[in-house]
Amino acid sequence: MRVSKFPLNTLKEIPSDAEIVSHQLMLRTGMIRKLGAGLYTWLPLGLRILRKAETIVREEMDLAGALEVLMPSVQPAELWQESGRWEQYGPELLRMHDRHNREFCYGPTHEEVITDLVRKQVRSYKELPLNLYQIQTKFRDEIRPRFGIMRSREFIMKDAYSFHETQDCLEQTYHGMYQAYSQIFSRMGLEFRAVDADTGSIGGNASHEFHVLAESGEDAIAYCESSDYAANVELAPLLPAAEKPLSKQAAEMSEVSTPDAKTIEQVSASLKLTAAQCVKTLLVKAEDGGLIALLLRGDHELNTLKAEKLDGVLAPLTFAEETEIKALIGCPPGFIGPLAIDCPVLADYSLIQQENFACGANKEGFHLINVNWTRDLPQPTFADLRNIQVGDPSPDGQGTIKICRGIEVGHIFQLGKKYSERLNASILDQNGKKTILTMGCYGIGVSRVVAATIEQNFDDRGICWPPALAPFQISILPINMDKSDKVRSFCEQLYSDLLTQGIEVLLDDRKARPGIMFADHDLIGIPHRVVVSERNLEKGVLEYKGRSDEESREISVEALKTELGQILKSI
């Protein structure tokens, strides 16, 4: 491709509403352009990259035995009513009417449509397992679209759905998809982790999220240094600490006046204790209409997901109103403690060994110090209530936890029978007996992958594309091409040679100054670059530089072709 026929609409200045690097660079390089909130047009440069990502996904899905289909993006409401999600799905579902006033939605996902397809099409166990996928535009009316393509409302997704007679069979396909996903992200040159994910309200047995590791990631991931354990921080379980008897150092419990200390920070400061020596008492609503006290070490954070799964706790987790607290305890928030409290008490595992701790006195303006289990109050029920932290033991018992940030780019899920039951999707088994299908679903945010790749591969000059996603493999930058016939004819020859070799090459045939060419090609992140100048031609060499190399080096034409051939093979 020639730059004269493939305009580089690059910007020197950063559009003011672009917050994260990928968004800034996608706008500056002219990959995308915003149409409205969460809506973007893919320009030729960006689309080239998006297509590369799609191609890799497609190839690996095909290789894993999935079959491509293309479903409508507009879906009739009836199917969603049948599955029950017409009511369940909130405002995130874009609903609309046609001219006959029939209801439709723009598909955020396709479980209903695919299940409908399969229930009509597939009759016999002999046709299973079946794994169908599509690469298609989805729409989710996000509360707050942001970060450009990363969290847009309209986006490109690869979604696959598998159908099975048995759970065993589902697990095999699930494993196959796990492998395929790993292969896809490896081929793209990404640093990623597969992490245990919430099976949540959908139920099912297993779910993994695939995260690209990047500072700007919206999710925190806990991973183990010495094993392949990884989980979303919200989900990573903590093991209970061992019980131990009251130690001899147990000091006398006493009441201390702490008039202005309401937060853990203030309490620990005024009592000259560390936050870890304090216990905080949170009151949440219970299923029976009353309250439940949750105890955490002062330096720990409550994990809402874990808490609302506990027996008796109201889901979604709701904190008690101030008036309810006053009615139950007789003092305002800030001075609550677990002693002599008239409601169930659940304490985090980390408090099992806690001694001589401080807590609220249930009396405005006072806290207790040197409180100890058994002696001063009965042992509460212990449970896993908090977020895992750096340095905690790994749940698989193999070393300690570290935390990094990740961008979720893929999610695989064992759905089970949720949709097939609701939509009555069944086949006849070997005995001629009707069997409800077991399903799996597998998504990749293809457009998000592109943004995530940039988050992981950039420097102060621009994007550094991994070769597999690069819009072009190599740039030819002629110096003074309009003045030097030698440079011109050499570049033209090299250009057509590389094209013949099957290499995607971008020849900068603009009448531009070298500085502009260097800046543009660095910005758009072409992995390889050769500079052709009269000076070097006289020496019979080219100047080569890899995008992330510190320095350029001289290279012969033959060596360049050989090297590029090698690189191409490795993609």
Partner RNA sequence: CGGGGCAUAGCGCAGCCUGGUAGCGCAUCUGCUUUGGGAGCAGAGGGUCAGAGGUUCGAAUCCUCUUGCCCCGACCA
Q: What is the binding site for RNA (CB under 7 A)?
A: 10-17, 19, 28, 36-38, 143-147, 234, 262-264, 267, 280-284, 301-304, 317, 319-320, 322, 325, 333-336, 360, 387, 461, 479-480, 482-483, 513-516, 518-520, 522-523, 531, 533, 535-536, 543, 545, 552
Contacts of 389 (CB under 8 A, 6+ apart): 300, 401, 403
Put residue 112 in one of left, alpha, beta given phi > 0 → left and psi -120 to 50 → alpha: alpha
Through-space distance between the first and last CA atoms of the chain, rounded to whole angstroms: 20
Distance CA 282, CA 298 (A): 11
* CB neighbours of residue 78 within 10 Å: 14
Nearer to RNA, 191 or 218 (CB): 218
Helix 485-500 to helix 557-570 angle (10° resolution) is 30
Contact 399, 195 (CB under 8 A): no
CA torsion through residues 206, 207, 210, 215, sign: negative
The angle subtended at Cα 188 by Cα 181 and Cα 213, nearest 5°, is 75
Nearest distance in Å: CB 144, RNA: 5
Least CB distance from residue 40 to RNA, whole Å?
A: 10
Contact 489, 508 (CB under 8 A): no
Smallest distance from the beta carbon of 366 to RNA, in angstroms? Answer: 12
Our CB check for RNA shows the closer of 58 and 138 to be: 138
Question: Which is closer to RNA, CB of 31 or CB of 79?
Answer: 31
Among residues 190 and 195, whose Cβ is nearest to RNA? 195
Q: Which residues contact 491 (CB under 8 A, 6 or more apart)?
A: 476, 478, 481, 507, 509, 532
Residue tagged 């360049």 (tokens): 560
Smallest distance, RNA to C-beta of residue 443, A: 19
Nearer to RNA, 15 or 237 (CB): 15
Locate 365 and state its tokens. Answer: 């303006």
The distance of closest approach from Cβ of residue 152 to RNA in the complex, given in angstroms and rounded to an integer, is 9
Minimum CB–partner distance for residue 522 and RNA (Å): 4
Nearer to RNA (CB atom), residue 89 or residue 187: 89
Residue 477 buriedness (CB in 10 A; 0-12 / 13-18 / 19+): buried
Backbone angles phi, psi at 145, to 5 degrees: -65, 140
Is residue 524 within 8 A of residue 471, CB to CB? The reply is: yes
DSSP 201: G
For residue 317, the minimal CB distance to RNA (Å) is: 7
CB nearer to RNA: give 206 or 519. Answer: 519
Smaller CB distance to RNA: residue 256 or 519? 519
What is d(CA 187, CA 58) in angstroms, rounded to the nearest whole number? Answer: 12
- Please state the closest distance from residue 449 (CB atom) to RNA, in A: 20
Please tell me the distance from the alpha carbon of residue 179 to that of residue 322, in angstroms, as a whole number.
51
Smallest gap from Cβ 250 to RNA, in A, equals: 23
Closer to RNA at the Cβ: 168 or 460? 460
What backbone phi and psi angles, to 5 degrees, belong to 348? Answer: -65, 150
**284 or 423: CB nearest RNA:** 284
Minimum CB separation of residue 316 from RNA in Å reads 8
Q: Which residue from 190, 192, 175 is spatially nearest to 65, judged by alpha carbons?
A: 175
3-state class of 5 per DSSP? Answer: helix
Nearer to RNA, 424 or 493 (CB): 493
Decide whether 11 or 499 has the Cβ nearer to RNA. 11
How far, in Å, CA of 94 to CA of 89, rounded?
A: 10
| Cα–Cα distance, 284 to 328 (Å, whole number) | 12
**Residue of 379, 411, 425, 497 lying closest to 199 (CA atoms):** 411
Contact 488, 510 (CB under 8 A): no
Closer residue to RNA (CB): 138 or 545: 545
d(C-alpha 552, C-alpha 547), whole Å: 10
57 CB burial (10 A radius; 0-12, 13-18, 19+): buried
In the bound state with RNA, the residue whose beta carbon lies nearer, of 217 and 360, is 360
- Number of CB atoms found within 10 A of residue 513's CB: 11
> Which residue number, 326 or 418, has a Cβ lying nearer to RNA?
326
Cα 299 to the center of its chain, rounded Å: 27
Helix, strand, or coil here: 140?
coil
State the Cα–Cα distance between residues 466 and 257, nearest whole angstrom: 62
